[in-house]
Chain A
């Protein structure tokens, strides 16, 4: 099992990949891959409750989560909240995403963190979709890339904001909408700024990586540093 980013390139149905980013473990598992990471019996029970059309996504996501927890040295199933979000074992913060038959998971040990991960295929968004995505200034950044790289930038923005949104849902019942999250470029991703007066989160670093036809984004937020007591 490779642990470097090069194993993530060519991500597809047969992929199995692991990456450590500091304390965060990221894993990817394709739907046709061969790993020992099958679903926990308790996860099978959750699966049975899911709509049939969603079960393949659930399985590939939970397999990625099993691999992630095994890499962290943690046991236990990843169940689900009543709202459908993954419920990781105690003292683990985790997040799951899936796209085109690939499941990804990001997880970290500790109760002080909220984490979000997102995997998207490039090319699903165009400039016609900026209205519900971009904060001021971001559309100009996308347009400046031209027709070739513009869709990549759109996907980077979307994926980064989706990861932030997922992380914040573990902390607040009402995360900010995407246009209220302003992203500033930094090496390896973005710094996220939440519009003053909207929700009041401190800046957070969201990592973004292009993997051929995909964009992967993840963010790990320390709970204490994230909550602005003035709002």
Chain B
């Protein structure tokens, strides 16, 4: 799966679904990460690493530990994409 094939929200849900062996539509955007069956720290780390590779971004560790919901993760990816794009444009 290429994370660039859809929206950030779709790709976040897609990667979580692939990790948890379920359908993406079973993962609601407002779902608490702690409520997703089978999601633990190690799987979340794998999902974030996949998103980083797909979008060529680096997520700040401190922000990673503050994530609560699926939407938080999507917003974090959005923010990192935006900040790193602005950084490249200003160079």
Name A residues whose Cβ lies closer than 8 Å to a Cβ of B. 51, 53-54, 84, 99, 120, 124-125, 128-129, 131-133, 158, 162, 177-180
Contact = CB atoms under 8 A, between A and B. Distances in A.
Contacts of A53: 35-38
Which of A51, A99, A132, A133 counts the most B-chain CB atoms under 10 A from its CB? A132
B41 A162 contact: yes
B3 to A, nearest CB: 14
Chain B interface, >50% SS class:
helix
A129 B32 CA distance: 23
B58 A131 contact: yes
A125 B45 contact: yes
Interface residues of B, number: 22
A120 B45 CA distance: 13
Given A84-B34, A131-B58, 6 more contacts: A51-B35, A54-B34, A132-B45, A132-B61, A162-B42, A178-B61
Interface string B59-91: 101101100000000000000000000000000
Given A53-B35, A54-B34, A84-B34, A128 B53 contact: yes
Nearest to A124: B42
Contacts, number: 47
B49 A158 contact: no
Contact of A129 (B37, B49, B62): B49
Contact of B49 (A54, A131, A178, A179): A131
A124 B43 contact: yes
A120 B58 contact: no
Contact of B48 (A132, A158, A162): A132
A133 B46 CA distance: 11
Interface in B5-50: 32, 34-38, 40-43, 45-46, 48-49
Contacts of B53: 128
B37 A124 contact: no
Given A125-B42, A129-B46, A132-B49, A177 B61 contact: yes
